[in-house]
Homo-oligomer: A and B are copies of this chain.
Amino acid sequence: MQEKLQALLDDYDLPQARRLNFVFQMVIVVSLLVISLETLPDISPKTRLFLYWAEVVIVGMFTLEYIARIYAAPKKLGFIFSFWGLVDLLAILPIYLLIFGIDYNLLVLRTLRLMKLARIIRFVRFNKSFRRLSLALDIAKQDFVLAIMATCLIQFIASVGIYQFENPVQPDKFSSVFASLWWALATLTTVGYGDVYPITLGGKIFTGLILMTGLGVVALPAGIFASALTEAREIEERMSHDTEK
């Protein structure tokens, strides 16, 4: 029976296992919706009670799933301390801490609730296309790190530069290099909220120069990923070729 349960939980060739997994995934989505709904400021006590019980039912289901997975695992401890075992545990822990009245403050609890999001990783655990994208990300790993470093570097240069130009004129908005960093972030990612922007001629020309360079740096990740994905496809083709032989 243990083997049957394991197959039902993890063997994605079985139609029943796929169906069960789909149900699990829907429960996770509903659970995320419940958490979000709880933050609405103007909900009635009745709705709040309903959301509370929905949460209890969901955590109950996750607990059952967790117990089933432990029971089904050939090596119980191995599963508990595996990555997915810990993710399963973290998904139910905050509520049990709450129920059993363990000492906590609200903010910490909220932060723990954030970890519930990790549940969604299960969605893509066994997906085929997910593996190709993962391979591409793995090929381009180092390149991405360099691109992020280049982005950080150019943002820091932008912050120091704009501080020189704008601080004397807008001391409240460009109060320090750190405040300027907020501007650099919004500008070089091209978000451009419009809460801070240069008004001096020098600052505007500097922004122009930084953006001309920055556009290229922002273009790096797309280029890196396109090139890595092309290589990942070629590796896939070669592997399916080898399998055919």
List residues of A whose CB falls within 8 A of some B CB. 32, 35-36, 39-41, 107, 110-111, 113-114, 117, 120, 123-124, 127-130, 132-133, 136, 142-149, 151, 153, 156-157, 159-161, 163-164, 167, 171, 175-178, 181-182, 185-187, 189-195, 197, 204, 207-208, 211-212, 214-216, 218-231, 233
Per a CB cutoff under 8 Å, which of B167, B193, B212, B220 touches A197? B193
A188 closest partner in B (C-beta): B191
Contact of A224 with B229 in the complex, beta carbons under 8 Å: yes
Copies of this chain in the oligomer: 4
In the complex, A144→B215 CA distance in Å?
11
Is the pair B164, A146 in contact by a Cβ cutoff of 8 Å? no
> In the complex, are the beta carbons of B229 and A223 less than 8 A apart?
yes
* CB contact between A40 and one of B171, B176, B222 (< 8 Å): that residue: B176
| Most B-side CB within 10 Å, residue of A110, A147, A195, A216 | A216
- In the complex, what's the smallest C-beta–C-beta distance from A91 to chain B, in angstroms? 14
> Are A151 and B215 in touch, CB under 8 angstroms?
yes
**Chain B, residue nearest A182 (CB):** B204
Extra contacts besides A40-B175, A148-B212, A191-B192 (6): CB < 8 Å: A36-B177, A41-B175, A114-B157, A133-B147, A181-B208, A226-B229
In the complex, which residues of chain B have a beta carbon less than 8 angstroms from the beta carbon of A40? 175-176, 178
A41 near B151: Cβ-Cβ < 8 Å: no
A161 to B149, CA, bound (A): 24
